[in-house]
Chains A and B, each alone.
Chain A
């Protein structure tokens, strides 16, 4: 392979990216060296097993990915604004919509949510860490290395261009001969390991690490939604693992699972992909539902309405989510009976979803509402998500879907559910739990600017797409003619897209601004909130709770505060030493080896993949022989820490 095949050449945009990547790297290395921060970085962050720090790292990575995916999005909008535009060529456009979709779902939405779950869930259930802290670090680093592997494709070797759904034969060897599709397969495979481990880890954490006094039916709604999400992950992700592996075999070792010859079955890929893919969209929406529940209840100053209905509806959604996958290819010849069955199961999902919407509305009803930024995002979610859901039901009617399928109508649907569901939730959750993570709040004024601009931009960008779809504009086209009559709505959409970009930049600026100027928290409970994470002091000590809290019902912390007001202060018990797990460098090193193995496979450099795999196995052996049992935090240290923090 020649060097100019290895590095992507010829496009000024790519050269710009090369330069900015190089500059960022040099800048980071310089700053770390200049301020002598390497050791700090290694001992405090890269080797950490603390769920709060891992959560923060997840969120930082996710925001970076949101930026990358957002740039992709704006490039696409720029191309589509006017007819016959030659800003991007067809192949470049294909690459961009592929990386945009993949990055947003796998490397932005999921890590953002998993990051917030990491920070919040152990605190909500009164735990000092997760069930398997070491595995938690492995989860993060495999996700991170998978994401990096996928992301370098656009400067080294070329990006995948067959869509995030990677349908064959388009994604097969004949029609996608380059290495791009291999990046997709290996990047997702490596990150998928991490997701599966997260699923197991948090399932056991929520079931077994709760304070003994907290019953299942008293868990905060975000914890419940996380629990159900983990069950979906455990059963859905192995399907993705297999599907990716089979396509990898097809491409690298000449097997015939999805080929057009020798008995291969392209439709098998579509089925496997969506058997994972539909549950996946619920993996990214259920935690969002959980967050909105917490935030709405906190700022309406009421207990969540219909707690049990909320839980059961999520269980039903999780079950149904495995029974609807065919609705993604009604048009691919499944026949009337099959289509009808999946049409009905799909429409059924709208029922439990509707139940949840009404529960949020009833929680708001007669509440004394405080319009914080977190609450604004949650309030905007309700009407916007309803639009996405109603159009989802329209798509669910198999016969009608022949009209909508593969048009901008579909694009509008899934952005209405994913952005006003998942992305609003990530922003709401970020504003809400920010003081828990960083000990200061995000500025509310900037927050509201960013909120209004983003929400206005979102609706301007995606609402017109429903009409573009009805007017026949297909998705995934790189340009159109003037005679098609789609220009004015496209101009509007691009304008909306730019507003979303501005809203996002204000959010990023707000992070900087608040770091500089926001007053530090003086209490652990800035919002007068209801669940146990707010009972921890500011800043949260690394062992979370000096004494394990007691949960006496729903909204455990609220009950504690009420009792305190009535003068029933809990008696002061003496501290006991606390057992904590040790940090470890093994997870990051193991994941680097995964990266090396993956990179070798992308280019079919077998010596390199074997080297990487040997490294992975070696780190596993090292781990197996490691009998480190963690350490005890002494009573003196606890006393010292508790004095410094403020409750």
Chain B
């Protein structure tokens, strides 16, 4: 099976059977992730307003920090796309550069998010404060945990790229992790809208 000839236009990650299977399987996994986040969103929306005497989001949310987070994450999705572009052009250097930028932006996002969480907790809004804040921290926190996992995972892949260069195996891993990264970006757009914008106009 591995010996089939491929047109030079077939990307490396699609040239092996394993590559094609794993990419498809990852799309299916993202389907399950959509179900997971949908459940969390539904839970959050059901709990909106149930602040039980504690502070509400309109008192605490600040547009500035959230906009910075959004800007960092959206840009990182773009740079991640650039990394794939360079990968398709067989430029290992380009891949390293743009994945590096992506990870840096991701870390920046995380930094701001952690700062935001700490700030809320100082203001008396924690996981244990009320149903609303439980919903908030678990929804946004699950996204943040995904970003953290993504950064750790992509770092491991970078090491493998360093060791092995661009092969059907390593490009497959880079490509799959990029799908994951874009997915987290899309989830963030929903969080931005359903949690922050909605929370501020409530």
Which A residues are closer than 8 A to B by beta carbons? Answer: 131-132, 196, 199-201, 203-204, 207-208, 234-239, 241-243, 245-246, 249-250, 253-257, 259, 261-265, 268, 272, 275, 579, 621, 624-625, 627
Pairwise interchain contact A242-B39, C-beta atoms closer than 8 A: yes
Residues of A near B47 (CB, < 8 A) are: 257, 263, 265, 268
Kindly state whether residue B191 has any CB partner on chain A within 8 Å.
Answer: no
State A268–B45 Cα separation when bound (angstroms): 11
Residue of B nearest to A205 (CB): B21
Closest to A262 in B: B52
B121-132 interface bits toward A, Cβ cutoff 8 Å, 1 = contact, 0 = none: 000000111111
B65 within 8 A of A: no
Seed contacts A200-B25, A201-B25; 18 additional CB < 8 Å A-B pairs: A131-B25, A196-B32, A204-B21, A204-B24, A204-B25, A238-B36, A242-B39, A249-B138, A256-B52, A256-B129, A256-B130, A256-B131, A257-B138, A268-B46, A268-B47, A624-B156, A624-B160, A624-B173
Report the separation of the CA atoms of residues A250 and B130 in the bound assembly, to the nearest whole angstrom. Answer: 11
Residue among A238, A263, A272, A625 with max Cβ neighbours from chain B (10 Å): A263
B68 within 8 A of A: no
User: Which residues on the B side are within 8 Å of A272 (C-beta)?
Assistant: 39, 43
Across the interface, name the chain A residue whose C-beta is closest to B48.
Answer: A263
Cβ B156 vs Cβ A621 within 8 A: yes
Asked if residues A263 and B132 are in contact (CB atoms below 8 Å), the reply is: yes
The 7 closest A-B pairs by CB, nearest first: A263-B50, A263-B131, A262-B52, A255-B134, A238-B36, A263-B52, A238-B35
A238 contact set on B, CB distance < 8 A: 32-33, 35-36, 39
Chain A residues with CB under 8 Å of B35's CB are: 234-239
Check B8 for interface membership: any CB of A closer than 8 A.
no
How far is the CB of B54 from the nearest CB of chain A, in Å? 7
Task: Tell me if A239 and B39 are in contact (CB < 8 A).
Answer: yes
With known contacts A200-B28, A239-B35, A242-B43, A255–B127 Cβ distance under 8 A:
yes
Asked if A241 and B36 sit within 8 Å, CB to CB, the answer is: yes
Cross-interface CB contact of B46 among A199, A265, A624, cutoff 8 Å:
A265
Interface hub of A199, A204, A236, A254 (most chain B Cβ within 10 A): A204
For the residues of A in contact with B, the DSSP-based class is: helix
A102 to B132, CA, bound (A): 31
The listed residue (A234, A268, A627) touching B31 by CB distance below 8 A is A234
C-alpha spacing A39/B156, complex, angstroms: 33
B1 cross-chain contacts in A, Cβ below 8 A: 579
Most buried by B among A203, A239, A262, A627: A262
Query: Are A262 and B54 in contact, CB atoms less than 8 angstroms apart?
Result: yes
Q: Does B135 contact A (CB under 8 A)?
A: yes
Q: A132-B25, A200-B29, A265-B46 are in contact. Are A255 and B138 (CB under 8 A)?
A: yes
The answer to the question of B92 belonging to the interface, with a C-beta cut-off of 8 Å to chain A, is no
Size bracket, chain B contacts:
35 or more
In contact, B40 and A262 (Cβ under 8 angstroms): no
Given known contacts A132-B25, A242-B39, A253-B128, A200 and B134 CB-to-CB distance under 8 angstroms: no
**Shortest CB–CB separation between residue B187 and chain A, in angstroms?**
13
Cα–Cα, bound, A208→B135 (Å): 39
B35 — nearest CB in chain A belongs to which residue? A238
| Whole-angstrom CA separation of A249 from B141 in the bound complex | 13
In whole angstroms, how far apart are the Cα atoms of A263 and B52 in the complex? 5
**Chain A residues whose CB sits within 8 angstroms of the CB of B40 once the complex forms:** 242
Q: Mark B88-131, 1 if CB is under 8 A from A, else 0.
A: 00000000000000000000000000000000000000011111
Bits for B46-81, please: 1 = Cβ < 8 Å to A, else 0.
Answer: 110011111000000000000000000000000000
Q: How far is the CA of A54 from the CA of B156 in the complex (A)?
A: 30
- Kindly provide the distance from the CB of B140 to the nearest chain A CB, expressed in whole angstroms: 13
> Could you tell me the distance between the alpha carbons of A203 and B32 in the complex, rounded to whole angstroms?
12
The contact sample of 19 A-B pairs, CB cut-off 8 A, is A200-B25, A201-B25, A203-B28, A207-B24, A234-B35, A238-B33, A242-B43, A243-B39, A246-B43, A246-B138, A249-B127, A249-B138, A256-B52, A257-B138, A263-B47, A263-B50, A272-B39, A624-B153, A625-B156
Indicate if B169 sits at the interface (CB-CB under 8 A): yes
Q: Are A199 and B32 in contact (CB under 8 A)?
A: yes
Q: What CA separation (Å) do A234 and B160 show in the bound complex? A: 30
B36–A263 CB distance below 8 A? no
Complex Cα distance, B175 from A414, in Å, reads 46
Chain A neighbourhood of B160, CB < 8 A: 624-625
In the assembled complex, the Cα of A165 lies from the Cα of B76 at a distance in Å of: 42
A259 to B127, CA, bound (A): 13
B131 touches A265 (CB 8 A): yes
Closest chain-A Cβ to B149's Cβ sits at a distance in Å of: 9
Q: How far apart sit A255 and B128, CA to CA, in the bound complex (Å)?
A: 5
Task: Name the B residues within 8 Å of A239 (CB-CB).
Answer: 35-36, 39
A257 in contact with B131 (CB, 8 Å): yes
Which chain B positions have C-beta within 8 A of A624? 153, 156-157, 160, 173
In the complex, are the beta carbons of B127 and A265 less than 8 A apart?
A: no
Which of chain B's residues have a CB closer than 8 A to the CB of A208? 20-21, 24
Shortest A299–chain B CB gap in Å is 35
Q: Write the chain B residue with the least CB distance to A261.
A: B52
A248→B1 CA distance, assembly (Å): 47
Q: Name the contact of A242 in the complex, choosing from B25, B36, B134 (C-beta under 8 A).
A: B36
Given contacts A255-B138, A257-B43, A268-B43, contact A237 B130 (CB under 8 A): no
Q: Do residues A235 and B31 form an inter-chain contact, with CB atoms below 8 A?
A: yes
Q: How near does chain A come to B156, taking the closest CB pair, in angstroms?
A: 5
Contact partner of A234 among B20, B32, B157, CB < 8 A? B32
CB–CB B28/A234 < 8 A? yes
The answer to whether B156 and A235 have CB atoms under 8 Å apart is: no
Q: How far is the CB of A601 from chain B (nearest CB, A)?
A: 16
Contact status A249-B43, CB under 8 Å: no
CA A579 – CA B2 in complex, angstroms?
A: 10
Interchain nearest-CB distance for B146 vs A (Å): 13
B89 to chain A, nearest CB (A): 24
A contact residues around B21 at 8 Å (CB): 131-132, 204, 208
Chain B residue contacts of A132, Cβ below 8 A: 21-22, 25
CA of A275 to CA of B20, assembled, Å = 33
A627 vs B170: C-alpha distance when bound (angstroms): 10
The residues of A that contact B25 with a CB separation of less than 8 Å are 131-132, 200-201, 204
Chain A residues positioned under 8 Å from B134 (CB to CB): 246, 249-250, 255-257, 264
A262 touches B156 (CB 8 A): no
Q: Closest B-chain residue to A272, C-beta based?
A: B39
Interface centre among B33, B132, B135, B153 (most CB of A within 10 A): B135
A606 to chain B, nearest CB (A): 16
Q: Which residues of B contact A234 (CB under 8 A)?
A: 28, 31-32, 35
Contacts of B52 in A (CB 8 A): 256, 261-263
A624 to chain B, nearest CB (A): 5
- Does A263 lie within 8 Å of B130, measured CB to CB? yes
Chain B residues with CB under 8 A of A199:
32
Nearest A-chain residue to B135, judged by Cβ: A257
Residue of B nearest to A204 (CB): B25
Q: CA–CA, A245 to B39, complex, Å?
A: 12
Contact status of A262 and B53, CB under 8 A, knowing A132-B25, A257-B131: yes
Cβ B130 vs Cβ A235 within 8 A: no
In chain A, what residue has the closest Cβ to B49?
Answer: A263
Give the CA-CA distance A241 to B39 in the complex, in Å: 10
Query: Could you tell me the distance in whole angstroms from the C-beta of B35 to the nearest C-beta in chain A?
Result: 4
